[in-house]
């Protein structure tokens, strides 16, 4: 076993897993879902989902990983259920798909960092030109994938853990600095109230269901990323408390990202909060303009810091996405870690090329597929995102909980959770996890899966 490597401490594991969770999803997606979904009301719903529904899935994944000390495919087999290997393979497939487009966006973030350092604030107005300069952007993606591969090639404690111990604290310091700075700008309070004032009328069923999807993606669940990381932790670790720290860090950073972002927007719009583009556009189109208005020196510092923060957040996530197929190949085919890493990273980079050219450069991939009932085609990148993250992840989550509760059997799960945490026995936490894994998670996640699948691909609108 020792040849597989291990996290050297509980803290190292928590930082690496929190790094997997904290990513592009936290920084650009969460703040907007909050603003559009009823402000503080959404934050509460999100928090509830993260703990009520996602937390039990997280605990289950980590427990399966630690029990078997195997990759997601090998784990099901090691527990004696060879027929469930498909679930591990499905997880690996979704990880590979997600990484292929996630790395493209990470490359943009990295490219923007370099542009900010050069003081090129005009880049925001030239975003589509930027993404269509495929040689340039391809190079950024290549560099990002190479850095990811380099870290993963160094193994668990010498690579992933070491990187997380540097990247995560740096990320926290950067986001705190930026948040404090943003809150000192004129009109900051207007931005914060736009973000947080609860609007219960905006909380529709769709908002609630989006909150669940976002929480699930943000916590890196449903594909065995945490089975993989869990396979490298010690039997002395307390899984339940580790999962609580991971969840809290993820939610905390997402929350801070909003506190940082909206004062910037309020500053740019003189407190009107009008006429800026939301979602991904906000980061790549609007923010450079904010940085420019801070003046050239301060603008470079704040802008560079922001895109470095975004790159760091993305990097700890790409690392965890790459580790999943790598652990699989190393475990199951007895391949060397180095060879596997570079081979798999190259293949995933190549798989990402259609996504890279699907933002206008290639007509074929830009207008790739038109879903039933849709008015305009989706790009290849969007399509891969819909399949890899919106469809396969919730499906994976449903099946993982069904597996744990009814195939592996929940008393085995609970027994594994008590290892390293003897006080768990008989507590409400234990009873709750038991209940959630058996009933709540399979049922609610099945609903999310059905809604997303039919909604995305067949235009069926439930709300
Ligand atoms: N959680 C990351 C984010 O919010 C994305 C991510 C990283 C992920 N690894 C994952 C999602 C594994 C699902 C599974 O950006």
Q: Is the CB of 24 under 6 A from ligand 1?
A: yes
Q: Is the CB of 251 under 6 A from ligand 1?
A: no
Q: Is the CB of 225 under 6 A from ligand 1?
A: yes
Query: In angstroms, what is the span from residue 151 Cα to ligand 1's centroid?
Result: 17
Query: In angstroms, what is the span from residue 295 Cα to ligand 1's centroid?
Result: 35
Q: Is the CB of 103 under 6 A from ligand 1?
A: no
Q: Is the CB of 380 under 6 A from ligand 1?
A: no
Q: Is the CB of 223 under 6 A from ligand 1?
A: yes
**What six digits make up the tokens of 369?**
């597929």
* Mean pLDDT estimate for the chain: 94
Mutational test site, ligand 1, from 19, 24, 98, 400, max ligand atoms within 8 Å of CB: 98
Residues 22, 31 contacting (CB under 8 angstroms): no
Note the pLDDT of residue 76.
98
Distance CA 184, CA 172 (A): 19
Note the pLDDT of residue 200.
87
What residue's CA is closest to ligand 1, atom 10? 220
* pLDDT of residue 281 exceeding 80: no
The Cα-based distances of 444 to 30, 352, 401, 449 in angstroms read: 21, 32, 11, 9
pLDDT band at 301 (very low <50, low <70, confident <90, very high): very high
Query: In angstroms, what is the span from residue 80 Cα to ligand 1's centroid?
Result: 29
20 φ/ψ sector (left φ>0, alpha ψ -120 to 50, else beta) = alpha
Note the pLDDT of residue 1.
43
* pLDDT of residue 155 exceeding 60: yes
pLDDT band at 133 (very low <50, low <70, confident <90, very high): very high
Note the pLDDT of residue 279.
66
pLDDT tens for 191-207 read 999 899 888 888 888 88
pLDDT band at 213 (very low <50, low <70, confident <90, very high): confident
Distance CA 34, CA 25 (A): 13
Average pLDDT over residues 365-373: 92
pLDDT tens for 62-110 read 999 999 999 999 999 999 999 999 999 999 999 999 999 999 999 999 9
pLDDT tens for 19-36 read 999 999 999 888 888 888
Distance CA 189, CA 271 (A): 9
Distance CA 317, CA 307 (A): 15
Q: Is the CB of 21 under 6 A from ligand 1?
A: yes
Query: In angstroms, what is the span from residue 218 Cα to ligand 1's centroid?
Result: 6
What residue's CA is closest to ligand 1, atom 11? 220
Mutational test site, ligand 1, from 98, 220, 253, 394, max ligand atoms within 8 Å of CB: 220
Taking the complete model, does pTM exceed 0.75, yes or no? yes
Query: In angstroms, what is the span from residue 261 Cα to ligand 1's centroid?
Result: 21
pLDDT tens for 421-441 read 999 999 999 999 999 999 999
Q: Is the CB of 20 under 6 A from ligand 1?
A: yes
Give the SS3 label for residue 136: helix
Distance CA 259, CA 265 (A): 11
What residue's CA is closest to ligand 1, atom 6? 220
pLDDT band at 390 (very low <50, low <70, confident <90, very high): confident
Note the pLDDT of residue 52.
93
* pLDDT of residue 124 exceeding 80: yes
Note the pLDDT of residue 463.
73
CA atoms within 13 A on the CB side of 284: 20
Query: In angstroms, what is the span from residue 399 Cα to ligand 1's centroid?
Result: 18
* pLDDT of residue 452 exceeding 90: no
Nearest to 247 by CA among 208, 217, 219, 225: 219
What residue's CA is closest to ligand 1, atom 13? 220
Mutational test site, ligand 1, from 21, 24, 168, max ligand atoms within 8 Å of CB: 21
**May I ask the CATH class of domain 10-458?**
mainly alpha
Residues 6+ apart with CB under 8 A from 54: 215, 216, 219, 221, 247
Stretch among 316-330, 410-424, 449-463 having the lowest mean pLDDT = 449-463
Q: Is the CB of 320 under 6 A from ligand 1?
A: yes
Query: In angstroms, what is the span from residue 318 Cα to ligand 1's centroid?
Result: 8
Note the pLDDT of residue 2.
46
Name residue, tokens 């003897």: 422
pLDDT band at 280 (very low <50, low <70, confident <90, very high): low
Distance CA 143, CA 104 (A): 11
Q: Which atom of ligand 1 is nearest to the CA of 21?
A: 1
Note the pLDDT of residue 234.
95
Q: Which helix (H) or strand (E) holds 32?
A: helix 30-36
Query: In angstroms, what is the span from residue 298 Cα to ligand 1's centroid?
Result: 32
Nearest to 46 by CA among 29, 62, 61, 60: 29
The Cα-based distances of 122 to 111, 115, 149 in angstroms read: 14, 9, 32
Distance CA 124, CA 46 (A): 31
């Amino acid at each position: 076993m020792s040849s597989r490597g291990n996290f050297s401490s509980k803290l190292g594991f928590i930082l690496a897993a929190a790094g997997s969770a904290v990513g592009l999803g936290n920084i650009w997606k969460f703040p907007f879902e909050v603003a559009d979904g009823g402000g503080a009301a959404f934050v509460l719903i999100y928090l509830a989902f993260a703990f009520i529904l996602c937390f039990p899935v997280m605990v289950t994944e980590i427990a399966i990983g630690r029990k078997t000390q195997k990759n997601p495919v090998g784990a099901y087999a090691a527990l004696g259920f060879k027929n469930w290997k498909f679930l591990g393979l499905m997880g690996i497939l979704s990880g590979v798909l997600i990484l292929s487009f996630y790395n493209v966006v990470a490359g943009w973030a990295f490219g923007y960092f370099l542009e900010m350092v050069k003081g090129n604030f005009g880049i925001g107005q030239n975003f589509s030109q930027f993404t269509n300069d495929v040689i340039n952007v391809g190079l950024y993606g290549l560099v990002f994938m190479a850095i990811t591969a380099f870290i993963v090639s160094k193994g668990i404690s010498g690579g992933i853990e070491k990187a997380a111990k540097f990247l995560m604290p740096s990320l926290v310091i950067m986001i705190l600095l930026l948040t404090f700075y943003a809150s000192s700008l004129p009109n900051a309070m207007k931005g914060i109230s736009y973000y947080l004032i609860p609007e219960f009328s905006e909380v529709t069923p769709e908002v609630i269901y989006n909150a669940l999807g976002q929480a699930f993606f943000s916590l890196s669940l449903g594909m065995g990323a945490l089975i993989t990381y869990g396979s490298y932790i010690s039997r002395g670790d307390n899984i339940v408390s580790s999962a609580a720290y991971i969840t809290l860090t993820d939610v905390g950073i997402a929350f801070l990202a909003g506190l940082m972002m909206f004062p910037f927007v309020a500053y740019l719009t003189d407190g009107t909060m009008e006429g800026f583009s939301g979602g991904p556009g906000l980061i790549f189109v609007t923010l450079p303009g904010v940085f420019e208005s801070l003046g050239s020196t301060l603008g470079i510092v704040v802008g560079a810091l922001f895109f470095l923060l975004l790159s760091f957040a993305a990097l700890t996530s790409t690392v965890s996405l790459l580790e999943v197929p790598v652990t699989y190949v190393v475990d199951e085919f007895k391949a060397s870690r180095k060879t596997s890493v570079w081979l798999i990273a190259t293949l995933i980079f190549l798989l990402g090329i259609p996504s890279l050219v699907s933002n206008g450069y290639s007509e074929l991939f830009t207008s790739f597929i038109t879903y039933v009932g849709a008015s305009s085609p989706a790009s290849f990148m969007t399509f891969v995102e819909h399949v890899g993250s919106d469809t396969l992840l919730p499906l994976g989550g449903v099946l993982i909980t069904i597996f744990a509760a009814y195939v592996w059997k929940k008393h085995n799960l609970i027994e594994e959770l008590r290892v390293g945490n003897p006080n768990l026995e008989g507590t409400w936490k234990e009873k709750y996890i038991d209940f959630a894994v058996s009933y709540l998670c399979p049922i609610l996640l099945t609903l999310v899966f059905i809604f997303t699948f039919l909604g995305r691909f067949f235009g069926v609108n439930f709300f």
